[in-house]
């Protein structure tokens, strides 16, 4: 199974229809520069993907990233995959008319069509997977891409040394509070991330992409506890 019991508890809100409806408010308060991360992702993919590219989006629930990519590139079509039905429903709502260009699949990477796709993304999602499952998942993403196709991954990834980890988690919380989130809710999130999220060091995450076969892997985004990379199949 892709997730163990602890992780399922952390992911429970994605399965809750009421929580999923509020999803859109959350990420920009926890992820500095989220709108620009989406904008840069579209620009990086467009360096190689043609105007009518077919793009695989893993962890597509909520629809924020799909909507940003669909708005940036009116000719692209998408396959979005996510295990949480409530988050897929929210994606349909957020997409509006752009939903006509998106096929949504409930499930994990193994439920994604074989492709081959012209590009792929996995945003704010790989941190939910233990290292072994992460490596397997990124390998399966790679297998579904045309040779040379771009892949963007961005997720929680920061130094894990004892002192550094606590300091960066404090900064993660400070950003969310400064962005207007209720401090009690932020503390719950910080504690949950600390206890359950299988965060890797940025160097380990980069190694996962290389191990899966991606070449020219480059860091393009670093914001407190978040990192983003572009690589090519």
Ligand X SMILES: C[S@@+](CC[C@H](N)C(=O)[O-])C[C@H]1O[C@@H](n2cnc3c(N)ncnc32)[C@H](O)[C@@H]1O
Q: Which residues bind ligand X (CB under 6 A)?
A: 2, 11, 14, 27, 58-59, 61-62, 64-65, 82-84, 87, 108, 123-125, 128-129
Measured from the CB of residue 161, what is the shortest distance to ligand X in angstroms?
25
Comparing CB distances to ligand X, the nearer of 164 and 192 is: 192
Tell me the DSSP string of 97-164.
GGGGGEEEEES-GGGS----BSEEEEES-GGGS-HHHHHHHHHHHHHTB-TT-EEEEEEE----SHHH
Please report how close the Cβ of residue 203 comes to ligand X at its closest, in angstroms.
Answer: 22
Nearer to ligand X, 62 or 228 (CB): 62
120 and 97 in contact (C-beta within 8 Å)?
no
Of residues 3 and 171, the one with the C-beta less far from ligand X: 3
8 A C-beta contact, residue 205 and residue 130: no
Q: Of 204 and 216, which has the nearer Cβ to ligand X?
A: 204
Instruction: Classify the C-alpha dihedral 224-40-68-228 as positive or negative.
Output: negative
First-residue to last-residue Cα distance in the chain: 26
Closer CB to ligand X, residue 94 or residue 217? 94
Coil, helix or strand for 36? Answer: helix
Q: How far is the CB of 108 from ligand X (least distance, A)?
A: 5
For residue 145, what are the β-bridge partners? 117
Residue nearest to ligand X (CB): 61
State the nearest-atom distance from the C-beta of 68 to ligand X, in Å: 8
Question: Judged by CB, which is closer to ligand X: 133, or 163?
Answer: 133
Q: For residue 171, give Cα distances in angstroms to 155, 204, 207.
A: 16, 21, 25
- Minimum CB separation of residue 129 from ligand X in Å reads 5
Could you tell me the smallest distance in angstroms from the CB atom of residue 163 to ligand X? 27
Residue with Cβ nearer ligand X (148 or 208): 208
- Nearest approach in angstroms of CB 42 to ligand X is 12
Decide: 233 and 148 in contact? Cβ < 8 Å. Answer: yes
Q: Which two tokens stand for residue 18?
A: 């009421």
Closest CA to 205 of 190, 222, 188: 222
Rounded CA separation 180/170 (Å): 16
């Amino acid at each position: 199974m892709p997730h163990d019991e602890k992780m399922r508890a952390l992911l429970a809100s994605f399965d809750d229809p009421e929580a999923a409806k509020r999803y859109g408010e959350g990420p920009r308060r926890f992820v500095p520069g989220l709108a620009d991360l989406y904008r840069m992702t579209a620009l990086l993919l467009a360096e190689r993907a043609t105007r009518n590219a077919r793009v695989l989006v893993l962890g597509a629930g909520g629809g924020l990233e799909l909507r940003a990519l669909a708005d940036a590139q009116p000719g692209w079509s998408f396959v979005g995959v996510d295990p949480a039905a409530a988050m897929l429903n929210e994606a349909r709502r957020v997409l509006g008319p752009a939903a006509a260009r998106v096929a949504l699949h409930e499930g994990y990477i193994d439920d994604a069509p074989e492709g081959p796709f012209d590009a792929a993304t996995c945003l704010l999602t790989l941190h939910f997977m233990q290292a072994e499952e992460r490596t397997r998942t990124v390998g399966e993403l790679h297998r579904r891409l045309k040779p040379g196709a771009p892949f963007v991954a961005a997720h929680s990834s920061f130094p894990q040394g004892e002192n550094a980890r606590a300091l960066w988690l404090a900064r993660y919380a400070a950003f969310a509070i400064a962005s207007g989130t209720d401090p009690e809710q932020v503390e719950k999130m910080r504690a949950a991330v600390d206890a359950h999220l299988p965060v890797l060091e940025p160097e380990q995450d980069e190694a996962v992409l290389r191990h899966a076969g991606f070449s020219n892997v480059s860091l393009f985004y670093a914001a407190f506890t978040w990192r983003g990379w572009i690589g090519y199949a």
